[in-house]
């Protein structure tokens, strides 16, 4: 559109407004081209005075608080000459309270940070000659950071890292009873790709292959025998996650169901039984309680299967988030 056309449109608009504003017998109130130019200038000045709607980076996009219940299980039925069997059979449970935030660095580059408090307890039977139950309690902290880059509309890549540390105590039912204390540290890293397919306005499918590397170190001090045992452990795994989400209630609500396959690439040999390839199925959802304030409730439940020793682990997470 050239300048003459713009001026013609503005002339028509201002003339129309003027026809309503002028008295019926105001023949002397003739609108000149100079009047039109001044009116356009005033209009442009007002438009330029409106605030710039461009997004500033970096900026926080989300704060969240959640609570997780993790129910682990060990089913190692190996027999030993020393104390019989099972080698280890029982529960290894924990709870995690976590706070997290998401940060948008640029239009396509984002990241996340989280801090968690871990409380764990276990009750494991070790042997039947005689039967011995080892009970332990531990407390720890976990930290994690992640980065994500949106390559194109449907494809993203990311990396993440985490660390944990803590201590605890244990006691068994042998005669005389053994008791001790332990400390542990751990770290993990990983990379992933994430591809998304919009099936319809409400259905979205996603697939994400990833690789994780983790290692841990624990020191156990037996107060009765006065000895210390140090264990180092390392685990590399490949994962493939697939899920599908359904959005409803004007996109305020979401339901997601998915499956993750875990492949053991490498594992350090220890006294514990080795891990096997396994799977995790999960279902979760979220609901935007307040659109104007960005308050969201969310939750997810999962169940693992396929590993004969570490099978039947499950988790439940629920939380609240503030989106910006």
Q: What letter does residue 178 receive in the DSSP assignment?
A: P
Model pLDDT, residue 52: 57
Residue 104's CB: how many other CB atoms inside 10 A? 19
Model pLDDT, residue 113: 98
DSSP 243-267: EEEEEETTTTEEEEEEEEEEEEEEE
Peptide bond into 86 cis (omega under 30): yes
Band of the pLDDT at 15, cuts 50, 70, 90? very low
Torsion angle of C-alpha atoms 75, 264, 212, 286, degrees rounded to 10: -60
pLDDT per position as a tens digit, 88-142: 999 999 999 999 999 999 999 999 999 999 999 999 999 887 889 999 999 999 9
Report helix angle 33-48 to 3-21, nearest 10: 100
pLDDT per position as a tens digit, 279-316: 999 999 999 999 999 999 999 999 999 998 987 799 99
User: In the structure encoding, which two tokens stand for residue 129, read together?
Assistant: 């000659």
Q: Which long-range contacts (CB under 8 A, 24 or more apart) does 93-96 make?
A: 93/69, 93/120, 93/121, 93/122, 94/70, 94/118, 94/119, 94/120, 94/121, 95/67, 95/68, 95/69, 95/70, 95/119, 95/120, 96/67, 96/68, 96/70, 96/142
Model pLDDT, residue 252: 95
* Strand ranges, E, within 199-226: 203-222
Contact between 292 and 310 (Cβ < 8 Å): no
pLDDT per position as a tens digit, 40-51: 666 666 656 655
| Mean pLDDT, range 140-163, rounded to an integer | 98
Predicted TM-score (pTM) of this structure = 0.81
What domains are there in the chain, each with its CATH number?
3-48 (no CATH), 59-323 (2.40.128.130)
Model pLDDT, residue 57: 93
**Above pLDDT 90, what percent of the chain?**
72
Alpha-carbon distance of 159 to 149, in angstroms, equals 9
In the predicted structure, residue 208 carries a pLDDT above the cut 80: yes
Band of the pLDDT at 82, cuts 50, 70, 90? confident
Band of the pLDDT at 7, cuts 50, 70, 90? very low
Contact between 93 and 70 (Cβ < 8 Å): yes
| Mean pLDDT, range 83-92, rounded to an integer | 91
3-state secondary structure of 87: coil
34: enclosing H helix or E strand: helix 33-48
In the predicted structure, residue 6 carries a pLDDT above the cut 50: no
């Amino acid at each position: 559109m050239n300048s003459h056309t713009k001026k013609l449109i503005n002339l028509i608009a201002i003339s129309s407004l003027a026809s309503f504003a002028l008295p019926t017998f105001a023949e002397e109130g003739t609108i000149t081209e100079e009047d039109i130019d001044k009116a356009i200038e005033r209009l442009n000045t007002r438009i330029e005075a409106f605030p710039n709607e461009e997004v500033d980076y970096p900026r926080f996009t989300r704060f969240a608080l959640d609570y997780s219940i993790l129910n682990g299980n060990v089913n190692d039925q190996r027999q030993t000459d020393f104390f019989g069997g099972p080698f280890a059979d029982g529960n290894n449970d924990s709870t995690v309270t976590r706070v997290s935030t998401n940060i948008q660095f640029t239009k396509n580059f984002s990241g996340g940070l989280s801090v968690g408090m871990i409380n764990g307890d276990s009750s494991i039977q070790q042997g039947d000659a005689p039967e011995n139950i080892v009970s332990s309690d531990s407390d720890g902290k976990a930290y994690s950071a992640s980065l994500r880059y949106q390559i194109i509309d449907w494809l993203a890549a990311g990396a993440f890292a985490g660390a944990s540390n803590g201590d605890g105590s244990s006691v068994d039912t042998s005669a005389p009873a053994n008791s001790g204390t332990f400390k542990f540290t751990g770290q993990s890293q990983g990379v992933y790709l994430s591809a998304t397919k919009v099936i319809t306005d409400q259905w979205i499918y996603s697939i994400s292959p990833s690789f994780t590397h983790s290692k841990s170190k624990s020191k156990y001090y037996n107060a009765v025998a006065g000895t210390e045992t140090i264990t180092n452990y390392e685990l590399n795994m490949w994962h493939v996650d697939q899920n599908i989400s359904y959005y409803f209630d004007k996109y305020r609500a979401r339901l997601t169901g998915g499956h993750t396959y875990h492949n053991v690439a490498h594992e350090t040999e220890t006294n514990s039984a080795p891990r096997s390839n396994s799977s995790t199925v999960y279902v979760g959802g979220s609901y935007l309680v307040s659109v104007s304030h960005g308050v969201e409730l969310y939750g997810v439940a999962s169940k693992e299967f396929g590993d004969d020793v570490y099978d039947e682990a499950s988790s439940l997470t629920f939380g609240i988030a503030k989106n910006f």
